[in-house]
Amino acid sequence: MNEPPAPPTVRPARSGREPGAGERRGNMSMPPVSPRHLAWPLPGGSEWSFEQIERYHSEIARVAERYGLDTFPNQIEIISAEQMMDAYASNGLPVGYTHWSFGKRFLATEQHYRRGQMGLAYEIVINSNPCIAYLMEENTLAMQALVIAHACYGHNSFFKGNYLFRTWTQPDAIIDYLVFARRYVAECEQRYGAVEVEQTLDACHALSNLGVDRYKRPQKRSLAKEQALQREREELMQLQVNDLWRTLPLKKHADLPAGERAFPSEPQENLLYFIEKNAPMLKPWQREIVRIVRKMSQYFYPQRQTQVMNEGWATFWHYTILQTMYDDGLLADNVMMEILHSHTNAITQPGFDSPAYSGINPYALGFAMYRDIRRICESPTPEDKRWFPDVAGSNWTETLQFAMRNFKDESFIAQFLSPKLMREFRLFCIVDDDHAGALRVDAIHDDAGYRAVRDALSRQYALSEREPNLQITSVDISGDRSLTLRHFRHNRQPLAGTYKEVMNYLATLWGFTVRLESVNDDGSIESTHECRVEKRAGQRGDAIAWTLPEAFRQHD
Amino acid sequence: MSAVIIDRRRNVRHKSAVNQQRFLRRYRALVREAVARSIAERKIAEADRDASISIPSRGLHEPVFSHGSGGKRELVLPGNKEYVAGDELQRPSGGGGQGQGGRGSPDGEGEDTFHFHLSREEFLDFFFEDMALPNLTKTQLTAIPQSKRVTGGFRTDGSPSNMSVVRTLRGALARRLALSGSSRARLREIDEELEKIDAEDPPDEERRAELLAERAAVQAAIARVPYVDSFDLRYRNRITQPREIAQAVMFCVMDVSGSMDEQRKDLAKRFFILLHLFLQRHYERIEIVFIRHHTSAQVVDEEQFFHSTESGGTVVSTALELTVAEIDAHFPLDQWNVYVAQASDGDNWGDDSPRCRELLETQLLPRVQYFAYVEVNDGQTQNLWDQYEEASAAHANMALGQVRERSDIFPVLRELFAKKAD
């Protein structure tokens, strides 16, 4: 039977209804109207309905597409304030394994919220595909519009475009992995006891910031391919087995000088990875938990490096999109006023001497920088042309996309912070040297200081400067199996006092004595701390009496 | 670009409840201390409220490796007004360069105490825990009192088990009468006419056949009216009614002589709270009267009751006399249920104890629903105890016990709870 081809007229309607089909395609159910001819504004008011949100969304999507924002498909979820606090407590993730620290965060959030000390975040957005954005039911319609523009098109396009996110996160797999982690931890709790699991998780959490690969790119391999490779290696090894080698007299390892048997052969920066692979005493399930924490930490690693860029990008786009809609006559004055009121609050930057000061506001700095880049593209001053010859006068959307895709906070600031912005923020750099009697103003927002201030601010956002540099340098594999962690001091900065507790955690994971050494700026090494784990006499080797960290004892 | 909009508000709330439980379990000891502190600050009638609790945050931080203060560091700040490069400025007190990093930490770290909220149930759970209450009693006290359900009128829908047969059939009968009334009137007319026709000679056969046909039709119409139709059904309606209005007065009698120290008062307070919680379950309205005594007794407010110390000897009978006087003056027994809770360290002026027993047996016990006495004392029982013990043996509505620690409190009231637990 010859089926006649389907008439072409039904095609658009069908494909338009598929969620996420063709991200660049507009909503087909909307008639293609030129925006300037829409005489009626979108509804406003404090009450919203799903239809209204949908109308707003389709308008926002249209404007975003006009500006060429490339996003994952959106999934907008309306939740209550309490659910928002839940999401808050688990770092914004919709599923999470069970741990007391999340409960602590929830209780703290709830308390702040009750007292009115803190408004809840209007939105939480998850770097997944489809991109999930939470909208709070208490928001007014105008706020929902703001949040949709901010999260569903701002953050979403950042997640999809920025190189760090592209390299390090797998938005297609994250939710599945979260579900796996939750189930796995729950299963471990049933089998091995909640307290056991909690102790392992506590120890891993203490080291989670040091559980990331900073330089080694992940391999984009599927599980099947990974397993195939592993089999291939095994076969190769098998092929090379030559029984003759066995007959050769063994060279005594102990004869080798200590330097040649150094393990690890190179210092290791990813502590959790090293522990997962090498800790002698860990049980298999503990290794898997180490791995889960390590994976989560790696997942959040790009976010920690792109605070200013990410928030600035989202803020820039909600502002630009909604302003465009207002200019097109889509937003009523009162709606726009409410949006601007909220927007202005978000981008306030109090001065350092104001009681409201609490660091540089990433929304304010990021928003100002993207606006400034646009300004330099559209109407550059002679100063801009001197500082940014390749940016001045270029197409602003392309330049902005380039900036968003290829930088992280430190390089973004080093590359794009303009003298004009430093003057506007009145940025200045002070040096706090404990050898000097007073703080010294190193540079301010003037010709002599622009570069110094910009470099200092860039360094301020570099994770390598914000966090201490710690590496595993050696393990005494032929002796007491003790592990040595080396702290490379920068500018004589010591570790905060909590390091002793963290060392205890490290010791519980490693199972043997761990030592901390500090390397001073002049290269000298001093031993700072030792956390001994001793075998109790009369016990088998696998039953080790740890020196338990203080925190664990509170259980009893 | 299409988006999926999902309403998640109906989804499970309180996803992190289990995490909160973990947190509370981990810091159980600290939370219990905080609850104890909170109890000390509360009024008796407000004991079962949710609470803001603060525990020292030192023990619950999550340590990580981070930079400590010291060394050389740079800091870029906004809002320069007057500085130029090379200026020197004094370190702000409390260490320079601390302005960074404290930004909006939502977990409340950096303060000395960690504040959070306990719900009423959680709070009571902690409160009961060290008083060693039986689980059943805990549940009874924690549960919010239900109003009772009574029948009230009838309704047209409901479950079959609530159907009222009498009402339903009465309605059906009325409907049958109403619907078939005209038909039956017509039937009677037809029958009369038929009789007439039968009486005629000769009968009008044609008319007769016509009437018989109509008669059959009318009878069929009557038969068609259903015996019971679905809209005849009536169900008993059940409405919720608030509990019966009943009121109780609780007399808290306490020895405030010098020997009652803070710790003993705390035990006494818990005893009063527990009794109050019990009464709350059973009475709509509860008044509390505080009577303190040393050598003389007086009625005071709660603040003075717990927080002022008198020195000197102890004459317990004055308090009992005052209680009786108060009952007679303000709480007529036909309107009030009277409960008396007495706490003392057992010290009494030697000659006074027999008088107390006499007062108790002749005056007080006939007036009250229940009299509970605790001796907050970790040594030997005193002379008052012996007298009370004898009285207690003779009267069912009296209980007494010696309390050394919190878990001793409940057994004193056990009998009361057992009796009233319905």
Residue of B10, B65, B103 to mutate when probing chain A, most A C-beta within 10 A = B65
pLDDT tens-place string over residues A423-469: 999 999 999 988 888 899 999 999 999 999 999 999 999 988 889 99
Task: Name the B residues in 220-239 with CB < 8 Å from any A CB.
Answer: none
Q: Is residue B74, in this structure, part of any structural domain at all?
A: no
Hey, which residues does A488 pair with through a beta bridge? A469, A519
- Tell me which of B200, B216, B237 is where a domain ends: B237
Give yes or no: residues B251 and B194 share one domain.
no
pLDDT score at A11: 31
User: Which residues, numbered 5 to 34 in chain B, qualify as contacts with chain A under a Cβ-Cβ cut-off of 8 Å?
Assistant: 5-9, 11, 13-16, 18-27, 29
Residue A122 token pair? 């209007």
Domain holding B260: CATH number? 3.40.50.410
pLDDT of A9 strictly over 60: no
Residue B135: inside a domain: no
Nearest CA in chain B to A440: B88
Q: Predicted confidence band at A14 (pLDDT cuts at 50, 70, 90)?
A: very low
A467-to-A205, B183, B222 alpha-carbon distances in Å: 15, 98, 95
pLDDT at A5: 37
Q: Which residues of A touch B5 (CB under 8 A)?
A: 50, 53-54, 57, 76-78
Shortest distance, CA A366 to any CA of chain B (angstroms): 14
Residues B126 and B200 in one domain: no
ipTM value: 0.77
CA A198 to CA A187: how far, in whole Å?
13
- Work out the pLDDT band at A118, boundaries 50, 70, 90: low
> Is residue A326 classed as helix, strand or coil in its secondary structure?
helix
- pLDDT < 50 regions, chain B: 94-110, 421-422
pLDDT tens track for B274-314 = 888 888 777 777 888 989 888 888 888 888 888 776 766 78
pLDDT per position as a tens digit, A477-532: 888 888 999 999 888 888 888 898 899 999 999 988 999 999 988 888 888 788 88
Residue B66 lies in a domain: no
Hey, is A411 helix, strand or coil?
helix
**One domain, residues B295 and B402:** yes
On whether both B220 and B255 belong to a single domain, the answer is: no
- Report the DSSP beta bridge partners of residue B338: B249
Is residue B155 situated within a structural domain? no
Tell the CATH topology of A468-553.
Trna Endonuclease; Chain: A, domain 1 (3.40.1350)
**Could you list the residue range(s) of the whole structural domain that residue B414 is in?**
247-420
Domain ranges of chain A: 347-464, 468-553
pLDDT at A84: 84
* CA B69/CA A377 separation, integer angstroms: 42
Residues A277, A267: Cα–Cα separation, whole Å: 15
Q: Would you call A108 and B59 a contact, using CB atoms and an 8 Å cutoff? A: no
| Residue B124 distance to chain A (closest CA, Å) | 18
Bridge partners (DSSP) of residue B149 are: B240
Rg of chain A (C-alpha set): 28
Mutate to test the interface with A, among B7, B64, B83, B123 (most CBs of A within 10 A): B64
B60 at the A interface (CB within 8 A)? Answer: yes
Among chain B residues, the shortest Cα distance to A357 is held by: B99
Examine the domain organization and report whether B231 and B274 are in the same domain: no
The answer to whether position B356 is within a domain reads: yes
Give the span between the Cα atoms of A110 and A99, in whole angstroms. Answer: 17
Q: Look at residue B33 and tell me if it is in a domain.
A: yes
Distance of CA A327 to the CA centre of its chain: 35
Q: In a 3-state reduction of DSSP, which class is residue B25?
A: helix
Question: How are beta strands A439-443 and B88-89 bridged, if at all?
Answer: antiparallel
- Which residue in chain A has the smallest CA separation from B78? A427
Sheet of strand A439-443, all strands in order from the earlier edge strand to the far edge: B72-77, A428-433, A439-443, B88-89
Q: Give pLDDT, residue A257.
A: 53
Q: Do A439 and B108 touch (CB under 8 A)?
A: no
Amino acid A219: pLDDT: 62
CB A502 to CB B20 under 8 A? no
Q: What is the pLDDT of residue B77?
A: 92
Claim to verify: residue B257 and residue B344 sit in the same structural domain: yes
User: End of a domain among B215, B237, B259?
Assistant: B237
A83 contact residues in B (CB cutoff 8 A): 8-9, 11, 13, 15
Beta-sheet pairing, A514-519 with B235-241 = unpaired
Question: Nearest CA to CA, how far is B79 from chain A (Å)?
Answer: 4
Measured CA to CA, the distance from residue B155 to residue B236 in angstroms comes to 6
Distances (CA, A) of A286 to A371, A481, B414: 48, 19, 48
Give the angle A274-A276-A281 at the CA atoms, nearest 5°: 105
Strand pairing class (B297-300; B285-293):
antiparallel
Is residue A71 pLDDT above 70, yes or no? Answer: yes
pLDDT at B140: 65
- Chain B CB contacts of A441 under 8 Å are 83-89
Beta-carbon count within 10 A of A551 CB: 20
Can you read off the two tokens belonging to residue A546? 């740890």
Q: Across the interface, which of B11, B26, B86 has its CB nearest the CB of A441?
A: B86
Residues B317 and B205 in one domain: no
**What residues of chain B lie within 8 A of the CB of A491, using their CB?**
71-73
**What is the Rg, in whole angstroms, of the alpha carbon atoms belonging to chain B?**
39
Q: How many domains does chain B have?
A: 3
Higher pLDDT among residues A348 and B412, named by residue: A348
A354 pLDDT above the threshold of 70: yes
Angle at which helix A307-327 crosses helix A409-416, to 10 degrees, equals 60
Query: Do B225 and B251 sit in the same domain of this protein?
Result: no
The rounded distance, in Å, linking the Cα atoms of B275 and B282 is: 11
**pTM for this one?**
0.71
pLDDT of residue A45: 73
Q: Residue A290: which of A510, A127, A8 has the closest Cα?
A: A510
| Out of A57, A99, A491, closest to residue B19 by CB | A99
Show residues of chain A in contact with B63, CB under 8 Å: 206, 498-499, 501-502, 505
Partner-chain contact B115 A73, CB within 8 Å:
no
pLDDT of residue B399: 85
Q: Which of B237, B271, B304 is the last residue of a domain?
A: B237
Does residue B89 lie in a domain region?
A: no
**Could you report the per-residue pLDDT of B129-165, keeping only the tens digit for each?**
777 766 666 666 666 655 677 778 888 888 888 889 9
CB distance A103–B19 less than 8 Å? yes
Residue B210 and residue B298 share a domain: no
User: Long-range contacts for A440-444 (Cβ within 8 Å, ≥24 apart)?
Assistant: A440/B86, A440/B87, A440/B88, A440/B89, A441/B83, A441/B84, A441/B85, A441/B86, A441/B87, A441/B88, A441/B89, A442/B74, A442/B85, A443/B85, A444/B80, A444/B83, A444/B84, A444/B85
- Is residue B291 domain-shared with residue B192, that is, in the same domain? no
The answer to whether the Cβ–Cβ distance between B78 and A83 falls below 8 Å is no
The pLDDT of residue A361? 92
B26 and B175 share one domain: no
- Pull the structure tokens for residue B299: 């009625």
B106 and A118 within 8 Å at the Cβ level: the answer is yes
Please state, in angstroms and rounded to a whole number, the distance separating the CA atoms of residues B245 and A59: 60
d(CA A393, CA A378): 6
Indicate the residue of B8, B64, B99 with minimum beta-carbon distance to A359: B99
The pLDDT tens digits of the residues spanning A382-427 come to: 999 999 999 998 999 999 999 999 999 999 999 999 999 999 999 9
**Could you tell me the pLDDT band of residue A553, with boundaries at 50, 70 and 90?**
very low
> How high does pLDDT run on average in chain A?
82
d(CA A60, CA A322): 8
Instruction: Check residue B143 and give its pLDDT.
Output: 64
Higher pLDDT among residues B162 and A159, named by residue:
A159
pLDDT of residue B370: 85
Contacts of A482 (CB under 8 A, 6+ apart): A475, A476, A512, A513, A514, A515
- The alpha carbon of residue A466 is apart from the nearest alpha carbon of chain B, in Å, by 8
pLDDT tens-digit readout, A213-259: 887 766 666 667 767 777 787 777 777 666 666 676 665 555 555 55
Residues B321 and B357 placed together within one structural domain of the fold = yes
Nearest Cα of chain A lies from the Cα of B156 at a distance, in angstroms, of 36
